[in-house]
Amino acid sequence: MRTRRNRYDLRVPLLTTTALTRTFGPVTAVSELTLAIEPGVVGLIGANGAGKSTLIKMLLGLLPATSGSATVLDLDVATRGEAIRERVGYMPEHDCLPPDVSATEVVVHLAKMSGLPTTAARERAADTLRHVGLYEERYRPIGGYSTGMRQRVKLAQALVHDPRLVLLDEPTNGLDPAGRDEMLGLIRRIGVDFGISVLVSSHLLGELERVCDHVVVIDGGRLLRSTSTADVTSASGVLVAEVDERADDVTALLVGAQLTARVSGRTIEITFAGDDTYDHVRDAVAQLGVGLVRMERRRHHMAEMFTGPDAGQAGEKQ
Amino acid sequence: MTANAATPANPGAPGAPGAPQTGAIHDIGYRHYDGARLGRGYIVRSLYLDSLRGGFGLGRSAKSKVVPLLLLAAMCLPALVIAIVAAATKATSLPGGYHAYVLNLEVLVAIYVAALAPASVSRDLRFRFISLYLSRPLRRSDYVFAKFTGLASAVFVVLAAPLTILFVGALLAKLPLADQIRGYLAALAGAVVFALVLAGIGLVIAAVTPRRGLGIAAIISVLIVLIGVSGAAQSIANERGADTAAGYFGLISPFSLVQGLQTWLLDQENPLPAGPPGTVGGLVFAGVTVVLVAGCYGLLLLRYRKVSVS
**What is the residue-averaged pLDDT of chain B?**
86
For B234-286, the pLDDT digits (tens) are 989 988 888 888 889 989 999 999 998 988 887 777 777 777 778 888 899 99
Residue B53 at interface with chain A, using a CB cutoff of 8 Å: no
A4–B32: do the CB atoms touch at under 8 Å?
Answer: yes
Find out whether A8 and A30 touch, Cβ atoms under 8 Å.
no
Instruction: Label residue B223 exposed, middle or buried (CB < 10 Å: 0-12, 13-18, 19+).
Output: buried
pLDDT at position B57 over 50: yes
Q: Is B278 helix (H, G, I), strand (E, B) or coil?
A: helix
CA B41 to chain A, closest CA, distance in angstroms equals 9
B310–A94: do the CB atoms touch at under 8 Å?
Answer: yes
A110–B309: do the CB atoms touch at under 8 Å?
Answer: no
The residue among A192, A191, A231 whose CA lies nearest residue A215 is: A231
Contact residues for B62 (Cβ-Cβ < 8 A; gap 6+)? none
What's the pLDDT at B245? Answer: 87
Residue B107 confidence class, pLDDT cut points 50, 70, 90 = very high
Work out the average pLDDT over B211-239: 92
Instruction: Tell me the CA distances in angstroms from B145 to A219, B156, B186, one per residue in order.
Output: 40, 16, 26
What's the pLDDT at A9? Answer: 66
Residue B131 at interface with chain A, using a CB cutoff of 8 Å: yes
For residue A86, the chain B residues in CB contact (below 8 A) are 37, 136-137
Find out whether A251 and A267 touch, Cβ atoms under 8 Å.
no
Q: Count of residues for chain B?
A: 310
pLDDT at position A311 over 80: no
For B174-191, the pLDDT digits (tens) are 888 888 898 899 999 999
**DSSP letter at B19?**
-
pLDDT at position A309 over 80: no
pLDDT at position A13 over 70: yes
For A171-216, the pLDDT digits (tens) are 999 899 999 999 999 999 999 989 999 999 998 877 888 889 899 9
CB neighbour burial string for A244-256, b if at least 16 within 10 angstroms, e if fewer: eebbebbbebbee
Amino acid letter at A316? E
For A294, phi and psi rounded to 5 degrees? -155, 160
Helix (H) or strand (E) holding B216, with range, is helix B212-239
Find out whether A149 and A134 touch, Cβ atoms under 8 Å.
yes
Interface of A with B in 197-256 (CB under 8 A): none
**What is the residue-averaged pLDDT of chain A?**
86
Find out whether A174 and A149 touch, Cβ atoms under 8 Å.
no
Strand pairing report for A15-24 and A27-37: antiparallel
Residue B18 confidence class, pLDDT cut points 50, 70, 90 = very low
CA B132 to chain A, closest CA, distance in angstroms equals 8
Distance of alpha carbon B16 from alpha carbon A238, whole angstroms:
26
Q: Count of residues for chain A?
A: 318
Q: Quote ipTM for the complex.
A: 0.84
Q: What is the 3-state secondary structure (H, E, C) of chain A?
A: CCCCCCCCCCCCCCEEEEEEEEEECCEEEEEEEEEEECCCEEEEECCCCCCHHHHHHHHCCCCCCCEEEEEECCEECCCCHHHHHHHEEEECCCCCCCCCCEHHHHHHHHHHHCCCCHHHHHHHHHHHHHHCCCCHHHHCEHHHCCHHHHHHHHHHHHHCCCCCEEEEECCCCCCCHHHHHHHHHHHHHHHHCCCCEEEEEECCHHHHHCCCCEEEEEECCEEEEEEEHHHHHCEEEEEEEEECCCHHHHHHHHHHCCCCEEEECCEEEEECCCCHHHHHHHHHHHHHCCCEEEEEEEECCCCHHHHCHHHHHHHHHC
Indicate the residue of B43, B61, B129 with minimum beta-carbon distance to A141. B61
B137–A195: do the CB atoms touch at under 8 Å?
Answer: no
Q: Which of A197-206, A233-242, B104-113 has the highest mean pLDDT?
A: B104-113
For residue A194, the chain B residues in CB contact (below 8 A) are 30
Distance of alpha carbon B183 from alpha carbon B163, whole angstroms:
10
What's the pLDDT at B222? Answer: 95
Instruction: Label residue A136 exposed, middle or buried (CB < 10 Å: 0-12, 13-18, 19+).
Output: exposed
C-alpha torsion angle, residues A176, A306, A54, B206 (rounded to 10): 30
What's the pLDDT at A130? Answer: 94
Work out the average pLDDT over B190-195: 95
% of chain A exceeding 70 in pLDDT? 88
Indicate the residue of B39, B124, B139 with minimum beta-carbon distance to A115. B39
Contact residues for B307 (Cβ-Cβ < 8 A; gap 6+)? B125, B130, B134, B140
Q: Which of A1-10, A211-220, B15-24 has the highest mean pLDDT?
A: A211-220
Question: Can you say how many angstroms the Cα of residue A153 is from the centroid of all Cα atoms in its chain?
Answer: 18
A124–B33: do the CB atoms touch at under 8 Å?
Answer: yes
A101–B61: do the CB atoms touch at under 8 Å?
Answer: yes
B26–A193: do the CB atoms touch at under 8 Å?
Answer: yes
The residue among A44, A36, A47 whose CA lies nearest residue A14 is: A36
Find out whether B148 and B297 touch, Cβ atoms under 8 Å.
yes
For residue B32, the chain A residues in CB contact (below 8 A) are 2-5, 162, 195
For residue B129, the chain A residues in CB contact (below 8 A) are 96-98
Indicate the residue of A100, A112, A124 with minimum beta-carbon distance to B60. A100
Distance of alpha carbon B222 from alpha carbon A16, whole angstroms:
51
pLDDT at position A294 over 70: yes
Signed CA dihedral, A110, A111, A116, A122: sign only: negative
**DSSP letter at B280?**
H
Residue A127 at interface with chain B, using a CB cutoff of 8 Å: yes
Q: Which of A34-43, A246-255, B15-24 has the highest mean pLDDT?
A: A34-43
Q: B276-280 — which CB contacts under 8 Å span 24+ positions?
A: B276/B247, B276/B248, B276/B250, B277/B243, B277/B244, B277/B247, B277/B248
